[in-house]
Structure 1
Amino acid sequence: MFVARLDSRTESTPLARYLLRAYLSALPSGDRYRDTAELLLGELFANAVQHSDAPADQHIEVRFALTGSRLRLEVHDAGSGHPSVRTAAPDDEHGRGLYLVNELAERWGCASRPCGVGKFAWALVAPTTV
């Protein structure tokens, strides 16, 4: 399992995706997860930054682990609000991230952290056959 703590700001999203690419490049079949996993991680991370009610100086933790043939992505933050899929209006600039996660992940969800502080959103990514 790979774990990293990143600043809770939008500018950290590319770093999260870079760390995921580096993790996947070390796996024999990592390229079969890359595109979908990068998109999902970016959406989960951006959602944590934008919607967390945690203080701005809190970090966001990302975790990646290959479990069997599925890649598990986790984004941990100190906020208490759980994300939910919503329907964006055609002219909305935002609001489609979790819709993409819902459509592209094999499964996904959100849970409170075991220590009682914050939550984590997770997604399982199946390998592509291309």
Structure 2
Amino acid sequence: MTASGAWRPGPPPAPADTRHRPAGPAADEPFRVRSTVPADPSWAAAVRRLVTEQFARLPLSADQRDGAVLAADELFANAVKHARTGPDDTVTVTVEWSPHTLRVTVADSSPVLPRPRPADADAESGRGLAIVAALADDWGMAPPEPGRPGKRVWFTLRRRGGTAP
């Protein structure tokens, strides 16, 4: 589902033969990094570190990197707050890069779809999806991977300038 409410699968995932290279991929080399962590707020810093380390290797502007980290953090926080059903729940964060597009996907076990809502000016929460929508080029929701419960929420950023680190 896209931000406008239409269902579509979103951009295709990176090719199946991509692999994580610990030393960091070349900017023009597709890669995919996936990490599954407990659906617990105490893991937010670890998720931010994961995505920050991956984004630092990419030819994105500093503003794009910062925005992508914030958007990933918001999706993780939403999954923990709204989708957690028990102490053993997990959240899977996937970072994918092709030479021109960054895609971050957060998967959880709840089938309940997130829905953007207008935030009350005095509310202390409720702005996560609006933040993601403002920072991303596109975002949406997809069914879970085959054989898994829940859903996936994703966003993409297209490369705009920036220089290789």
Q: Distance in 1 between matches of 2:123 and 2:89?
A: 28
Show the counterpart of 1:20.
51
Q: Distance in 1 between matches of 2:161 and 2:127?
A: 25
Q: Using the TM superposition, name which of 120-129 and 60-69 deviates more.
A: 120-129
Q: Percent identity?
A: 30
What residue identity is the alignment partner of 1:9? D
Q: CA deviation at 1:12?
A: 1.0
- Give the TM-score normalised by structure 2: 0.72
Show the counterpart of 1:72.
103
Q: Distance in 2 between matches of 1:7 and 1:114?
A: 18
Q: CA deviation at 1:9?
A: 0.8
What residue identity is the alignment partner of 2:86? P
Q: How does 1:5-44 map to 2 (within 5 A)?
A: 5-27=36-58, 29-30=59-60, 32=62, 33-44=64-75
What residue identity is the alignment partner of 1:96? R
Q: CA deviation at 1:53?
A: 4.7
Specify which structure has the higher proportion of helix.
Answer: 1
Q: CA deviation at 1:120?
A: 0.7
Q: Distance in 1 between matches of 2:94 and 2:60?
A: 15
CA offsets 1:44-85 (integer angstroms, 9 cap, x no match): 000000000532311111000112311100001111111111
Moved over 6 A (4+): none
Which sections of structure 1, spanning at least 5 residues, go unmatched? none
- Give the TM-score normalised by structure 1: 0.90
Q: Distance in 2 between matches of 1:30 and 1:15?
A: 21
CA offsets 1:1-39 (integer angstroms, 9 cap, x no match): 000011111111111110011112333x15553101101
Q: Using the TM superposition, name which of 36-45 and 16-25 deviates more.
A: 16-25
Kindly tell me the number of residue pairs found equivalent between the two proteins: 129
